[in-house]
Amino acid sequence: MHDPAVSVPRIEVVETELIFLSAAELQQLADVKPVDYVGTEVRQAFLFACQTGLRLSDLETLMWG
């Protein structure tokens, strides 16, 4: 039996450095008071994403309420 994948070159996996916000940095962001409604919503969504690990595409499908 012939393996058709033998001639396909392997995909190299490149290790990337993940950078996370510290708890102090998240708290600093949470303490900022936005000047308008949109800023408040964006801050809330970002902090929610940081705490839950949801992706932007997942956040966009959520209904706030």
Whether the Cβ atoms of residue 42 and residue 59 lie closer than 8 Å to each other: no
29-41 confidence digits (pLDDT tens) = 999 999 999 999 8
Q: Is residue 10 situated within a structural domain?
A: no
Q: Is residue 50 situated within a structural domain?
A: yes
Q: Is residue 6 situated within a structural domain?
A: no
Cα(48)–Cα(32) distance, integer angstroms: 15
Structure token pair of residue 44: 């809330």
Give residue 48's domain range. Answer: 23-61
8-55 confidence digits (pLDDT tens) = 999 999 999 988 899 999 999 999 999 999 999 889 888 999 999 888
Overall domain count for the chain: 1
